[in-house]
């Protein structure tokens, strides 16, 4: 029995096209997906191989983290197996009594990381788990995370012709959320800027050659955080901007919002506009991400644990 563990929380993704209807229905609170929308999303997944690599990569991260810290590391997904409540049940059965919970999303919003915390709280109650949890709300300035992203940006810049590399437009992206979050003091946008600023300072990048934009906005009909990166491409092309590097700082592990929205849809739009677009690699299961999680875990092992159960 090991009473001290780490819990990695992630969004989840379908393991195959067969899983897609149930996965999307879970996201929609049990409501079935209209057939035209299901067909559109299925086509997107088909173009990235018919599945999401999110769970597989996250489990590799967990294995490497466990080997590094000598503690069990569990993975719980918000919208697919292993669901958070399933993982909490496993942890309780394994005799885990305390854990540090870390979302695989560095920036806090009540609509994103806050939703993971709510799901975890529900699971602890439903499972009757006698488990104390220290929940890490954000880690957007963790040094190893920033260093790893910066290194990936430098590597991606090398894919541009040498003469234009110093003038490439760097666009940091994160998942778009309803614009209304800014009215309630949500720190999401401010934290994204903190991350972006830390990276451009490491790069000594000119202030007029980078910006923050948003991507993958859901079709809810409500105003979303702007600017949306796909709206910027024609504007840049008209201004003669021809070299753009996208750095998805809101994501650390590959899934559909990167593999399709950026690598396929945005890339096709860029080519149509005559823009050379590259995307910086995500950290995935690389040593910098494992180092960042170790850094976060050590910082979170404090006496401020919240008793559950």
pLDDT of residue 61: 98
Q: In a 3-state reduction of DSSP, which class is residue 228?
A: strand
pLDDT of residue 303: 38
In this structure, are strands 98-103 and 132-136 parallel, antiparallel, or unpaired?
A: parallel
What is the per-residue pLDDT across 247-285, written as a single tens digit (0 to 9) for each?
Answer: 999 999 999 999 999 999 999 999 999 999 999 999 999
- Summary mean pLDDT of the chain: 94
4-139+287-300: CATH topology? Rossmann fold (3.40.50)
pLDDT of residue 5: 96
Q: Computed over its alpha carbons, how large is the radius of gyration of the chain?
A: 20
Contact indicator for 85, 123 with CB cutoff of 8 Å: yes
pLDDT of residue 78: 97
pLDDT of residue 309: 32
Locate CATH 3.40.50.1400 in the chain. 4-139+287-300, 143-279
pLDDT of residue 305: 38
**Which CATH number is 143-279's, of 1.10.3720.10, 3.40.50.1400, 3.90.245.10, 3.65.10.10?**
3.40.50.1400
H-helix or E-strand spanning residue 40: helix 35-47
Contact indicator for 156, 149 with CB cutoff of 8 Å: no
What is the per-residue pLDDT across 64-109, written as a single tens digit (0 to 9) for each?
Answer: 999 999 999 999 999 999 999 999 999 999 999 999 999 999 999 9
Residues ≥6 apart with Cβ < 8 Å to 206: none
Contact indicator for 296, 168 with CB cutoff of 8 Å: no
pLDDT of residue 27: 94
pLDDT of residue 2: 58
Residues in the chain, pLDDT under 70: 1-3, 301-309
pLDDT of residue 32: 87
């Amino acid at each position: 029995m090991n009473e001290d563990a780490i819990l990695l929380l992630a969004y989840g993704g379908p393991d195959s096209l067969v899983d897609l209807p149930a996965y999307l229905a879970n996201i929609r609170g049990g409501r079935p997906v209209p057939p035209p929308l299901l067909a559109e999303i299925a086509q997107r997944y088909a173009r990235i191989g018919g599945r999401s690599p999110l769970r597989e990569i996250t489990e590799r991260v967990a294995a490497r983290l466990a080997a590094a810290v000598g503690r069990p590391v569990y993975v719980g997904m918000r919208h697919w197996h292993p669901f958070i409540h399933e993982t909490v049940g496993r942890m309780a059965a394994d005799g885990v009594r305390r854990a540090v919970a870390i979302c695989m999303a560095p920036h806090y919003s009540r609509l994103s990381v806050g939703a993971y915390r709510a799901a975890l709280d529900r699971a602890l109650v439903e499972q009757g788990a006698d488990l104390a949890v220290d929940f890490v709300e954000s880690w957007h300035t963790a040094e190893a995370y920033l260093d790893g992203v910066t290194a990936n940006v430098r590597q991606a810049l090398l894919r541009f012709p040498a003469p234009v590399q110093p003038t490439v437009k760097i666009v940091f992206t994160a998942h778009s959320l309803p614009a209304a979050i800014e009215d309630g003091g949500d720190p999401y946008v401010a934290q994204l800027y903190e991350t972006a600023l830390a990276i451009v300072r490491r790069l000594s990048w000119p202030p007029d050659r980078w910006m923050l934009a948003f991507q993958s906005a859901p079709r809810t009909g409500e105003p979303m955080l702007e600017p949306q990166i796909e709206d910027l491409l024609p504007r840049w092309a008209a201004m003669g901007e021809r070299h753009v590097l996208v750095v998805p700082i809101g994501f650390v592990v590959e899934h559909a919002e990167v593999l399709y929205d950026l690598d396929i849809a945005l890339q096709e739009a860029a080519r149509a506009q005559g823009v050379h677009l590259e995307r910086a690699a995500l950290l995935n299961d690389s040593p910098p991400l494992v180092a960042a999680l170790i850094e976060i875990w050590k910082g979170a092992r404090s006496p401020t644990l919240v008793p559950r159960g």
